[in-house]
Amino acid sequence: MAYKISVDCINCAACEAECPETAISQGDTTFVIDPKLCTECGACADVCPVDAPQPQ
Ligand code: SF4
Ligand code: SF4
C-alpha cells in the first residue's frame, strides 16, 4: 500500500521535497506519488495544506 494524492491537490509542491523516498513528482493535473517507492511515512500529508495525500 501507499499514499495517494487526491484531486484536492493545489500543486503547491510543498510535499515534493519532504518525501525521503523521492516518490513525489508533478503529474498532469496534480502532484503524484509512485506507489512502488512510497513507504507510508506520512511526511507529505504533514506538510500538505489541503490534506491531499491519503493512505489507501
Ligand atoms: Fe513519500 Fe512518505 Fe508521502 Fe510516501 S508517505 S509519498 S514515502 S512522504
Ligand atoms: Fe499537492 Fe498537497 Fe503536495 Fe501541495 S503539498 S503539491 S497541495 S499534495
Domain-wise residue ranges, the chain: 3-55
The atom number, within ligand 2, closest to the CA of 10 reads: 7
Question: Which ligand is closest to the CA of 48, given by its number?
Answer: 2
pLDDT at 1 over 90: no
Q: Name residues contacting ligand 2 (CB within 6 A).
A: 5, 9-15, 31, 47-48, 50, 52-53
35 lines ligand 1 (CB under 6 A): no
Residue 5 pairs in a beta bridge with: 53
Q: Give the right CATH number for 3-55 from 3.30.70.20, 3.40.50.300, 1.10.150.120, 1.10.150.20.
A: 3.30.70.20
Tell me what percent of the residues of the chain surpass a pLDDT of 70.
Answer: 100
Rounded Cα distance, 36 and 50, in Å: 24
- Tens-place pLDDT, residues 8-33: 999 999 999 999 999 999 999 999 99
Q: How far is the CA of 45 from the centre of ligand 1 (A)?
A: 8
pTM of the full structure: 0.96
pLDDT attached to residue 47: 98
**What's the mean pLDDT when you consider all of the chain?**
98
Contacts 24+ apart (CB under 8 A), 45-50: 45/3, 46/18, 47/14, 47/15, 47/18, 48/9, 48/12, 48/14, 48/15, 49/10, 49/12, 49/14, 50/8, 50/9, 50/10
